[in-house]
Chains A and B, each alone.
Chain A
Amino acid sequence: MFDRLEEITKAEQETAGRFDHTVDVCVAAGCMSSQSVAIKEALEKEVEAHGQGHRCRVRGTGCMGLCAAGPLITVDAEKPGEIMYKQVTVGDAADIVASLDSTPVERLRCRTDVPFFQRQKKIALENSGLIDPERIEEYIAREGYSGLMRALTEMSPSDVIDEVVASGLRGRGGGGYPTGLKWTTVAKSDGDVKYVICNADEGDPGAFMDRSVLESDPHRILEGMAIAGYAIGASQGYVYVRGEYPTAVARLKTAIRQARRANMLGSGIGGTLFNFHVDIRLGAGAFVCGEETALIASIEGKRGTPRPRPPYPAEFGLWGRPTLINNVETFANIAPIIRNGGDWYARIGSGASKGTKVFALAGSIINTGLIEVPMGTPLREIVYEIGGGISGGGECKAIQTGGPSGGCIPAGYFDTPVDYESLSALGSIMGSGGMIVMDESASMVDVARYFMEFCMTESCGRCVPCRVGTVHMHNILDKFSRHEATPHDLELLEKLCDMVRNTSLCGLGQTAPNPVMSTLRYFRDEYMDCMMPELNGAERVGELMEVAR
Chain B
Amino acid sequence: MKRPFKTRIKTLKIDGIDVGAREDETILELAQENDIFIPTLCHLEGVHDVGSCRLCLVEVRGTNKLLPACMTYAEEGMEVITNSERLQAYRRQVLDLLFSERNHVCSVCVSNGHCELQWLAGKLGISHVGVPYLYPQLEVDASHRYYSYDPNRCILCTRCVRVCDEIEGAHTWDVMGRGVECLVISDLNQPWGTAESCTRCGKCVQVCPTGALFNKGRAVAEMTKRRDFLPYLQTMREGRK
Q: Please tell me which one of the listed residues A462, A468, A496, A499 contacts residue B101 in the complex, with CB atoms under 8 A apart.
A: A468
* Most A CB within 10 A of own CB, among B54, B177, B182: B54
CB pair A464–B71 under 8 Å, yes or no, is no
Interface residue? B180 (CB, 8 A): yes
> Which residues on A sit within 8 Å (CB–CB) of B97?
464-465, 468-469, 472
CB pair B179–A503 under 8 Å, yes or no, is no
Binary CB contact string for chain B from 161 to 192 against chain A (1 if under 8 A, 0 otherwise): 00000000000001101111110000000000
Q: Report the Cα distance A472→B228, complex, angstroms.
A: 37
> Which residues on B sit within 8 Å (CB–CB) of A286?
178
Using a CB-CB cutoff of 8 Å, which residues 455-496 of chain A contact chain B? 456-472, 475, 492, 495-496
Binary CB contact string for chain B from 37 to 56 against chain A (1 if under 8 A, 0 otherwise): 00000000000001111100
Q: Report the Cα distance A496→B71, complex, angstroms.
A: 24
CB pair B94–A460 under 8 Å, yes or no, is no
Interface residue? B16 (CB, 8 A): no
Given A465-B94, A468-B97, A460-B178 contact (CB < 8 Å):
yes
Using a CB-CB cutoff of 8 Å, which residues 52-91 of chain B contact chain A? 52-54, 57, 66, 68, 71, 90
Q: Report the Cα distance A303→B161, complex, angstroms.
A: 13
> Which residues on B sit within 8 Å (CB–CB) of A463?
51-54
Q: Report the Cα distance A58→B108, complex, angstroms.
A: 75
CB pair A471–B54 under 8 Å, yes or no, is no
> Which residues on A sit within 8 Å (CB–CB) of B90?
499, 502-503
| CB proximity of A260 to chain B, nearest CB, Å | 37
> Which residues on B sit within 8 Å (CB–CB) of A465?
54, 93-94, 97
Q: Closest A-chain residue to B179, C-beta based? A: A459
> Which residues on A sit within 8 Å (CB–CB) of B156?
461, 464, 467
> Which residues on B sit within 8 Å (CB–CB) of A503?
54, 57, 66, 90, 93-94
Say which size band chain B's interface belongs to: 20 to 34
Given A308-B71, A503-B90, A458-B178 contact (CB < 8 Å):
yes
Given A470-B179, A505-B51, A464-B132 contact (CB < 8 Å):
no
| CB proximity of B73 to chain A, nearest CB, Å | 9
Interface residue? B130 (CB, 8 A): yes
CB pair B175–A459 under 8 Å, yes or no, is no
Interface residue? B131 (CB, 8 A): yes
Q: Report the Cα distance A462→B53, complex, angstroms.
A: 8
> Which residues on A sit within 8 Å (CB–CB) of B93?
465, 495-496, 499, 503
Interface residue? B223 (CB, 8 A): no
CB pair B51–A471 under 8 Å, yes or no, is no
Interface residue? A397 (CB, 8 A): no
Q: Closest B-chain residue to A473, C-beta based? A: B131
CB pair B50–A462 under 8 Å, yes or no, is yes
Q: Report the Cα distance A307→B100, complex, angstroms.
A: 25
Interface residue? A400 (CB, 8 A): no
> Which residues on A sit within 8 Å (CB–CB) of B71?
308
Given A308-B68, A468-B98, A504-B54, A492-B131 contact (CB < 8 Å):
yes
Interface residue? B134 (CB, 8 A): yes
Q: Report the Cα distance A384→B51, complex, angstroms.
A: 46
| CB proximity of A532 to chain B, nearest CB, Å | 16
CB pair A505–B178 under 8 Å, yes or no, is no
CB pair B68–A467 under 8 Å, yes or no, is no
Give the number of A-B contacts (CB < 8 Å).
90
CB pair A464–B134 under 8 Å, yes or no, is no
Q: Report the Cα distance A456→B180, complex, angstroms.
A: 8
- Chain A residues touching B, majority SS: helix
Using a CB-CB cutoff of 8 Å, which residues 420-462 of chain A contact chain B? 456-462
> Which residues on A sit within 8 Å (CB–CB) of B180?
456, 459, 461, 467-468, 470-471
Q: Closest A-chain residue to B87, C-beta based? A: A503
Using a CB-CB cutoff of 8 Å, which residues 89-121 of chain B contact chain A? 90, 93-94, 97-98, 100-101
Q: Report the Cα distance A461→B101, complex, angstroms.
A: 12
Given A464-B98, A468-B101, A472-B132, A308-B178 contact (CB < 8 Å):
no
Q: Report the Cα distance A527→B100, complex, angstroms.
A: 25
> Which residues on B sit within 8 Å (CB–CB) of A466?
179
> Which residues on A sit within 8 Å (CB–CB) of B178?
286, 457-461
Q: Closest B-chain residue to A455, C-beta based? A: B179
CB pair A492–B130 under 8 Å, yes or no, is yes
Q: Closest A-chain residue to B134, C-beta based? A: A471
| CB proximity of B183 to chain A, nearest CB, Å | 9
Q: Closest A-chain residue to B100, C-beta based? A: A468
Given A307-B51, A308-B51, A503-B57, A475-B132 contact (CB < 8 Å):
yes
* Most B CB within 10 A of own CB, among A307, A468, A471, A503: A468
> Which residues on B sit within 8 Å (CB–CB) of A468?
97-98, 100-101, 134, 180
Q: Please tell me which one of the listed residues A457, A467, A499 contacts residue B182 in the complex, with CB atoms under 8 A apart.
A: A467
CB pair B179–A456 under 8 Å, yes or no, is yes
Binary CB contact string for chain A from 279 to 309 against chain B (1 if under 8 A, 0 otherwise): 0000000100000000000000001000110
> Which residues on A sit within 8 Å (CB–CB) of B174?
303
> Which residues on A sit within 8 Å (CB–CB) of B50?
307, 462
Q: Please tell me which one of the listed residues A464, A470, A475 contacts residue B53 in the complex, with CB atoms under 8 A apart.
A: A464
CB pair A502–B66 under 8 Å, yes or no, is yes
Q: Report the Cα distance A408→B119, complex, angstroms.
A: 42
Q: Which 7 A-B pairs have the closest CB atoms?
A: A461-B182, A459-B179, A468-B97, A308-B51, A468-B101, A499-B93, A503-B54
**A-B contacts besides A503-B54, A504-B54, 20 pairs, CB < 8 Å:** A303-B174, A307-B51, A308-B71, A457-B179, A458-B178, A459-B180, A460-B178, A464-B52, A464-B53, A464-B101, A466-B179, A467-B179, A470-B179, A471-B179, A472-B132, A495-B93, A499-B90, A499-B93, A503-B57, A503-B66
Ordered by A's residue number, 22 sampled pairs between the chains whose C-beta atoms are within 8 Å are A286-B178, A307-B50, A308-B68, A456-B180, A457-B178, A459-B179, A461-B181, A462-B50, A463-B53, A464-B94, A464-B155, A467-B101, A468-B100, A470-B179, A471-B180, A472-B97, A472-B131, A472-B132, A492-B131, A496-B131, A502-B90, A505-B51
Chain A residues at the B interface, C-beta cutoff of 8 Å: 286, 303, 307-308, 456-472, 475, 492, 495-496, 499, 502-505
